[in-house]
Amino acid sequence: MVYNEAEAHLAAEATGTMEGRQAKYCLDENHIKWSLVEGVITRKGAQDGPHDGQTLPVSEIKAIERTEVRHTHRSSLGWPVTLAGVLFLGLSIGLATWSWLAAAPVLVLGLLLLIWGIKRIPARTEIRGGFRFVAPVANPDAWVMAGDVPEVRGFIDGVKAEMAWQSQREQEPSKP
């Protein structure tokens, strides 16, 4: 069966899809799944089911802004390791009454654990780049893509291309 460009164009007109419209899929740095299919962006979090998620038509998007996304990391080992360091220091004091030779390695280990644990107690904030979809019908905080990696930039380029295609289609006079 020969399938040329004219037949492809006729098939696209018959099904209501346009040539050149791509489907895009992306997983951002917050592990949120984004998809762009036929002019609609779908955002699914980790707890969303297969048919759940939020949708936003590209025609509703007024702009795409660069933004910053803040990630706060707290080590769960900070306090336990600090406590272990204090316990080893107490043990080294007890061992020092018996033998300095036995207390020295325990003292060094206790100091290392104490210092390592104290450094990890405060939370660390990491600032990453991201993109925000500005739409009057959407919560601006929910429509932020975290990351400035090639996968996210490719998705943003696909959304911009879709926005350009839709604005071009709106400007063209309708053909009878």
Q: What's the pLDDT score for residue 15?
A: 45
Give the per-residue pLDDT at 4. Answer: 45
Give me the pLDDT at residue 175, please. Answer: 58
pLDDT value for 101: 87
Residue 147: its H or E element: none
Boundaries of every domain in the chain: 11-73+124-171, 78-120
Q: Which CATH number fits domain 11-73+124-171: 3.30.230.70, 1.10.10.10, 3.40.50.1000, 2.30.29.30?
A: 2.30.29.30
- d(CA 156, CA 166) in angstroms, rounded, equals 15
Q: What is the pTM of this model?
A: 0.63
Of 169, 154, 161, 166, the residue nearest 60 (C-alpha): 166
pLDDT of the residue at 80: 93
> Can you say whether the dihedral through the CA atoms of 29, 57, 15, 158 is positive or negative?
negative
pLDDT at res. 112: 94
Could you write out the DSSP letters of every residue in 67-125? Answer: EEEEEEE--TTHHHHHHHHHHHHHHHHHHHTT-HHHHHHHHHHHHHHHHHHHHHSS-EE
Whether 149 contacts 29, CB under 8 Å:
yes
Q: What is the pLDDT along the chain (176 residues), one digit of tens a residue?
A: 344 444 444 444 444 445 556 788 888 888 889 888 888 888 898 888 877 888 888 888 888 889 888 888 888 888 999 999 999 999 998 888 888 888 899 999 999 999 999 998 888 888 888 898 888 887 878 888 888 888 888 888 988 988 888 888 878 766 55
